[in-house]
Structure 1
């Protein structure tokens, strides 16, 4: 009887993970960044940078020199924006003065804002509406804005957005943080008792930038601009005794998982599973103080 029960529980768990996975996405993974059919060339101009993308005059004299970037970012150079507030206060980010600045906020923030700012950089073809079909639980707010500096509120207000930039550092050991450590190169090591358990239960998929040997939050920390609706997961090695991941960044079974909004981890608010907490788990990768593990709960991840 015990053997039958164990097999039944295993099959139920396997079925749950299978339901969370997408083996064959039915739409192009580039999603909204197909830009009405223009595809990769909407952001990356194979010739002549922003000029090659139809910009007649640009203040960005280095346009296209990095990543063949085809959007005019000249109006953003050296601008200071005050990004979102947190328990630590608000954050000041002075954008790089060129695409060759060499800091992580070039590709991690500046390039993103060339399309997603709407205030200082308003020339890109953004419609300021969400591309994806939203779950019914989102209510009637179907036009979720996609611009940081012009989001139907006060023009130039960035405080209602998540902090990003070279001053938006990630920490360990504080009242709001994980029991993790940061090594000399700025890597976040989820090796504490609670943080390592979280990696087994969900994972650590975020990609912080590194500045002055500290991990910093970029737009690309949470978002993978090339994959809108799916994320490929590779399970790490799980210790047979402790059941913790000893190599790799997740204990989830390998496979393709549903995501939304270009989030770089399993994230599916459209899940119909009662008690699904995967979207909360994504945020807890950095906000460890609000996690099950740090609060002493044994809850894992429910898809």
Structure 2
């Protein structure tokens, strides 16, 4: 996710969304949201027959794309390409096949087939916000949905949040939680501060696992199937279980348009990985305010 996307989110939130606070939220638009793709629905990404060939890409697509999640978009132009994110510190060489067994196939490569805009342009998004904006926001609806073509120079990924097999999520030290990583690469929020944070907000992110190490992918922060709602369970959070409002396919309660003074839920989302900036790791007693 883009660093400057958080600024855009705060600006582009709808007025009606601001009223949604706490559990029991009932979305009044389809939960697939922007990924309905103007009515195409699930078949915009998944082709029930023949993969990318079945979605009209027979001239250029890898005919084996549909072997993975019935993927219907052309990813062949991305195979083996190198992108560098996070200001230059995270180099990711994309898989050379949809048959690769690394987590960046389903967690990054498939996403870039629509959200790259540089190597892959056939199904690229239009960098426009999906939600209807209130009249007071004017006509501005640009939002940086393309990693490799976001309004700066084409092919620039440096201003994107680190992603890929080298974007390792850590525990301990100045910037991380007092968590631990299991032998299989699972993040365990069991430290004094991290466990308290789970009670105060939760741990909703879904890191990939590579060489028994947790890594950050697009799907770590985003659930591509639910744009405007998240189901909070006791297994993930100390919040009251129920459905909470979210935006932009974020996996956790996330409402930058909250009408509550001092609401900190959007900051809490980032602190799931960035523990060094949390209240709990700095002896603060603030909890999540919606």
Q: TM-score, normalised by structure 2?
A: 0.89
Q: Shift of the alpha carbon at 1:20?
A: 2.1
Q: Does 1:291 align with 2:290?
A: no
Structure with higher Rg: it is 1
CA distance in 1, matches of 2:248, 2:60: 30
CA contact (8 A) 2:114 2:123 kept: yes
2:240 matched to which residue of 1? 253
1:62 matched to which residue of 2? 64
CA contact (8 A) 2:31 2:229 kept: yes
Trace 1:204-243 onto structure 2 (pairs within 5 A).
204-235=203-234
CA distance in 2, matches of 1:57, 1:233: 44
CA distance in 1, matches of 2:26, 2:64: 40
Q: Shift of the alpha carbon at 1:21?
A: 2.9
Alignment CA distance shift 1:186-1:193 (3 Å): same
CA distance in 2, matches of 1:174, 1:136: 47
Q: Does 1:153 align with 2:152?
A: yes
Alignment CA distance shift 1:292-1:139 (3 Å): farther
Trace 1:7-156 onto structure 2 (pairs within 5 A).
19-85=21-87, 90-133=89-132, 142-156=141-155
CA contact (8 A) 1:50 1:58 kept: no
RMSD: 1.8
Unaligned runs of 5+ in 2: 1-19
Alignment CA distance shift 1:300-1:141 (3 Å): farther
Q: Shift of the alpha carbon at 1:61?
A: 3.2
CA distance in 2, matches of 1:59, 1:30: 26
Deviations 1:139-185 (A, max 9, x none): 98531121000001110000111000000000000211001010100
CA distance in 1, matches of 2:142, 2:25: 29
CA contact (8 A) 1:32 1:131 kept: yes
SS in 2 for 1:19: coil
SS in 1 for 2:282: coil
**Structure 1 stretch displaced more, 74-83 or 135-144:** 135-144
Alignment CA distance shift 1:177-1:228 (3 Å): same
CA distance in 2, matches of 1:136, 1:284: 33
CA distance in 1, matches of 2:138, 2:178: 36
1:184 matched to which residue of 2? 183
CA contact (8 A) 2:180 2:189 kept: yes
Alignment CA distance shift 1:223-1:275 (3 Å): same
**Paired residues, number:** 271
SS in 1 for 2:108: helix
CA distance in 2, matches of 1:145, 1:299: 32
Unaligned runs of 5+ in 1: 1-17, 236-247
2:254 matched to which residue of 1? 267
Q: Shift of the alpha carbon at 1:125?
A: 4.7
CA contact (8 A) 1:134 1:270 kept: no
CA distance in 1, matches of 2:284, 2:125: 42
Alignment CA distance shift 1:191-1:162 (3 Å): same
CA distance in 2, matches of 1:257, 1:174: 32
Q: Shift of the alpha carbon at 1:275?
A: 0.3
Q: Does 1 or 2 have the higher relative contact order (CA < 8 Å, sep 6+)? A: 2
Q: Shift of the alpha carbon at 1:134?
A: 6.0
